[in-house]
Structure 1
Amino acid sequence: MSEPVFRMIGEARRGGIVAVCDHASNYVPEDIHLGLPDAALSKHIAYDIGAAGVCERLARRHSIPAMLGEVSRLVIDLHREEENPALIPESTDGTLVPGNIGANREMRLDRFHRPYHKAMEAWFDAVEPGLILSIHSFTPELESREEDRPWEIGLLYNQDDRAAQHAIRLFGELGCTVGDNEPYSGRELNATMNRHAEAYGRPYCAIEIRNDLIANEGGQSRWAAIVADVAGRVKLALESA
């Protein structure tokens, strides 16, 4: 297959800040039939709305190079471990995905998931980033259950909270409503950063931005500038610790 699994924007410098976006795209290859209406691909179940735009602006305007996943999370979730049952979702936020029932797991791993993570591993090994930003977005509310989600931005982490704690403080000082391991816990959902950051002692910020704030270009530009500012100061704080 010739379709890209990821795309790179910008040139990383050794020890600098980089960004990754696992859920940047809602692309579904023509030969994979999910059994969903086209409208489903515009929803958060298909990709992280606005996250790619934030990463593009981080790279092009703030010199933070980015790696973006280029396949919908409905096909395979690049932000899950290979053995995770939700890797190829049969149901997501109350929506059944008929085409994923009995899907060829190994084929999708070999075609999408493994090349993506192999490339990320090689990139990080080459540039040894001083700080990794993992950019995601979350919905103001879920369709499958009622849940209060007041945060504008959340910082997720598992065991290594060095960068996250600085970022939580700095976003708060800017007047942002910040979630500390909210709206999801990084102790449960942190697959990419567990694999490529925590496993190597690389500092990271796993960032969730509420998607209504970055649904258009103006919001993406604003939040890219905020994230870039905070990331630069987090990196300085880590280096001076």
Structure 2
Amino acid sequence: MLHNKEYSSAFSYYNLEGSSEVVLMCEHASNYIPDAFHNLGLSQDQVNDHIGWDIGALDVAKALADKLDAPLIYSNYSRLLIDLNRILENPGLIPSVSENHQIAGNQNLTEEQRQERIDTLYTPFHDAAANLINTQKTKHKALKIVSIHSFTPIFLGQQRPWPIGVLYGQAQNFAQQVINNLSYQKLNVGVNEPYEIDIEEDMTIPFHGDNNLIPALLLEIRNDLISTNTGVEEWAERLEKALKTKN
């Protein structure tokens, strides 16, 4: 068992004093796993791959935060330890398998081990996110939440044709505005692709957004498009245009 002092902060802020009505989140920002976990039985190459984090997502989130002057909260640990975008009841919260990779270090966990990860990584992140959102809500009547993710071009042998997906639950008007603005940029936008928001699985959009009547979107960018500094800058510019336009 690890003690709390052996963990650093579960999350970090970026541009915390930003003036935008948008709050940015990046739940899969890091692939960091403390040495004591021995990479959960995986090779470093596996941890560096998409199963360990959303490649490029944090770079885009930070660049977008600068362009919008928006506050950002992001994770400091790999989603393999605990997935911050899963509800506590979901089996994928601490994945025993990711894609076709067995995660030996997540199998046969005791309740104490599971609770440790919740207490040290999951709860602090979501408490801090809720506090940030509540603080910004006092400043902006038209507050919005945007979560930045990335996805693989191919998943289990299936090609994914979209460069970006816009995922939403109840925020249909906000989503349509962003979809339209991205489509004007001649992009093939996946609408609730390559995933859908599911209240029995997802945490961020239903919990922080829909349940509080705050328009909230999750943006998925294909990770081969944001693997370079040039790609990151291009996509941050595209998202800035999509998010800045008013209804």
Q: Given the two structures, how large is their TM-score scaled by the length of structure 1?
A: 0.92
Q: 1:16 aligns with which of 2, 17, 21?
A: 21
Q: Which residue of 2 aligns with 1:116?
A: 125
Q: Which amino acid aligns with 2:183?
A: G
Distance 1:126 1:111, change over 3 A: same
Q: Which residue of 1 aligns with 2:59?
A: 53
Distance 1:166 1:217 in 2: 27
Q: Which amino acid aligns with 2:178?
A: A
Distance 2:147 2:193 in 1: 15
Task: Map residues 1-241 of structure 1 onto 2, 5 A cutoff.
Answer: 1=5, 2-12=7-17, 16-33=21-38, 34-103=40-109, 104-128=113-137, 130-142=143-155, 145-187=156-198, 190-233=202-245, 236-237=246-247
Structure 1 residue ranges without an equivalent (≥5): none
Q: Which range moves more in the overlay, 83-92 or 1-10?
A: 1-10
Q: What secondary structure, in the 3-state scheme, does the structure 1 residue paired with 2:126 have?
A: helix
Deviations 1:46-103 (A, max 9, x none): 0000000001111234312211111101111011001110101100010001010122
Q: Which amino acid aligns with 2:34?
A: P
Q: Given the two structures, how large is their TM-score scaled by the length of structure 2?
A: 0.90
Distance 2:36 2:172 in 1: 41
Q: Work out the number of aligned pairs and report it.
A: 233
Q: What secondary structure, in the 3-state scheme, does the structure 1 residue paired with 2:31 have?
A: coil
Q: Tell me how far 1:163 sits from its aligned partner.
A: 1.0
Distance 1:136 1:194, change over 3 A: same
Give RMSD over aligned pairs: 1.5
**Alpha-carbon contact 1:12-1:18 (below 8 Å) kept:** no
Q: What secondary structure, in the 3-state scheme, does the structure 2 residue paired with 1:116 have?
A: helix
**Alpha-carbon contact 1:59-1:66 (below 8 Å) kept:** yes
Deviations 1:173-204 (A, max 9, x none): 11111001001112365321111010100012
Deviations 1:187-226 (A, max 9, x none): 3653211110101000122100000000111111110111
Structure 2 residue ranges without an equivalent (≥5): none
Q: Tell me how far 1:15 sits from its aligned partner.
A: 6.6
Q: What secondary structure, in the 3-state scheme, does the structure 2 residue paired with 1:73 have?
A: coil
Distance 1:221 1:72 in 2: 24
**Alpha-carbon contact 2:169-2:197 (below 8 Å) kept:** yes
Runs of 4+ in 1 over 6 A off after TM superposition: none
Deviations 1:107-136 (A, max 9, x none): 100010000000001111111151111100
Q: Tell me how far 1:160 sits from its aligned partner.
A: 2.9
